[in-house]
Amino acid sequence: MKVHLRVFVEIENLGKAMNALTDAGITGFYILEYKGMSPQDWEGFVIKEDPKSTIGLIRDYAKEAVLVCCVVDEDKVDSIVESVQKSLEGEKYTILEVPIRRIIVSYGGSKKKTDEKAEPWLLEKEVPCFYCGEKAVQRIRIEKNKSKIWCTNCGASRYYTLRTTENPGED
Amino acid sequence: MVVKPWMLEKSARCHSCGDATVHEIQVDEYDLQISCRECGFRRYYTFTMVEVPEK
């Protein structure tokens, strides 16, 4: 599954956040500049309902901040978040992880990229290992023609090879 | 040691219909089966070998 990672940072920390995200291996991003107030700053405020007061309040109290967004694989999220947390230690920031149900991309009539090499799928399951018997994370790597499952505790691996495919749509 | 079948899910682009869909993955001791929830395309993998750590 893909995850929409949203990192809210104060504008002076944008560079730090971007470096941390890049070091952790993000491949693309977009940013949105905004003015915002954190809940603790906002607490106790009751704004007058005329536009002038509202705009004045935003100008006077809201801080300039940036939202950095990127789409990443679910299994990479933890290491990316860890990298950002390490880099922004002691600073104010908020990170949201939003699961993505579906991605639809239109290439607007231009040719689709040809480097569409199928990426291997990586999954994990925490169960007792078939070899050492310890309850540990078992990693599963599935490629087009082969698959491997290995224990992160003892390293014992099982290998599988593609035998056949079945496509009900071709019947 | 008998391994109980694992039932897993993975959102990925289907090799057959090309859509980003959910795939159901069943891992057994001797077989691994993947099926696309959208188009029903299935891939069957068979166990070939095991590699154990040196003691």
pLDDT in tens, A96-119: 999 998 888 887 765 544 445 677
Q: What is the pLDDT of residue B2?
A: 58
Report the top-level CATH class of A2-99.
alpha beta
Beta carbons of B44 and A121 less than 8 Å apart: no
Task: Say yes or no for a CB contact (<8 Å) between B32 and A147.
Answer: yes
Indicate yes or no: CB of B6 within 8 angstroms of CB of A165. Answer: no
Q: Is 0.80 surpassed by the pTM of this model?
A: no
Predicted local confidence at residue A32, as pLDDT: 92
Domain boundaries, chain A: 2-99, 121-164
Asked whether the beta carbons of A42 and A93 are under 8 A apart, the reply is no
What are A54's two structure tokens?
């509202």
Count interface pairs A-B at CB distance under 8 A. 98
Model pLDDT for residues B2-34, shown as the tens digit of each residue: 557 899 999 888 878 877 889 999 998 889 999
Q: Which residues of B touch A159 (CB under 8 A)?
A: 47-51
pLDDT digits (tens, 9 = 90+) for A50-70: 777 777 777 787 888 999 999
What does the pLDDT read at residue A95?
94
SS3 A23: helix
Both tokens of A49, joined, read 């309902």
Q: Which two tokens stand for residue A20?
A: 């941390």
Helices (H), ranges, chain A: 14-23, 39-42, 51-61, 74-87
Q: d(Cα A159, Cα A140) in Å, to the nearest integer?
A: 10
Best CA proximity match to B47, nearest among B8, B33, A124: B33
Q: Which chain A residue lies closest to B35 (C-alpha atoms)?
A: A166
Residues of A with CB under 8 A from a CB of B: 1-2, 100-104, 118, 121, 123, 125, 127-128, 130-131, 133, 140, 142, 144, 146-147, 149, 154-169
Low-confidence ranges of chain A (pLDDT < 50): 112-115
Mean pLDDT for chain A overall: 85
